[in-house]
Amino acid sequence: MQFRKINRLMLLISLFLISSIFFNQAMAQSKNQMVRLAKIKVDPLQLEKYKLALKEQMATAIRLELGVLTYYAVADKSEPSHITILEIYADTSAYQSHILTPHFKKYKDTVKDMVKSLELVDVNLIAAAKQPGN
């Protein structure tokens, strides 16, 4: 009985370590992924409302769309209304589906008078590397 418990514990620890290694591995861009930087200048007076709409869009897309892989949204410290979003989609068709979803259309409609300029820069992922859980 004692042996069984240790055995189970070993199994669980192994599984956790394997997961950690999996999540830790350095990644290059998968063949078909679509990666982009969106550079957005927001009306400073509407910045908090914009950020709420953005966060809702990001969380909903990740929850409902398996083809929306990664979002990081950052704001310049010296100019907080200048926002950069790193976006990774499984492929271009995942992106094409994404822009037709109700949550994306709601976001675009909500922010249409908050966004002063939008520049979309297509990029290739050179590499990504992360600690487990990041």
Interface residue with a second copy, options 46, 69, 95, 115 (CB under 8 A) = 69
Sign of CA dihedral 122, 128, 133, 134: negative
55 is a site residue for a second copy (CB under 8 A): yes
Looking at 69-77, 101-109, 111-119, which segment touches a second copy (CB under 8 A)? 69-77
Least distance in Å: CB of 114 to a second copy? 14
Residue with structure tokens 């600690």? Answer: 131
Q: What is the DSSP string of 16-51?
A: HHHHHHHHHS-BPPPTT-EEEEEEEEE-GGGHHHHH
Which residues ranging from 13 to 32 are in contact with a second copy (CB under 8 A)?
15-16, 19, 22-24, 26
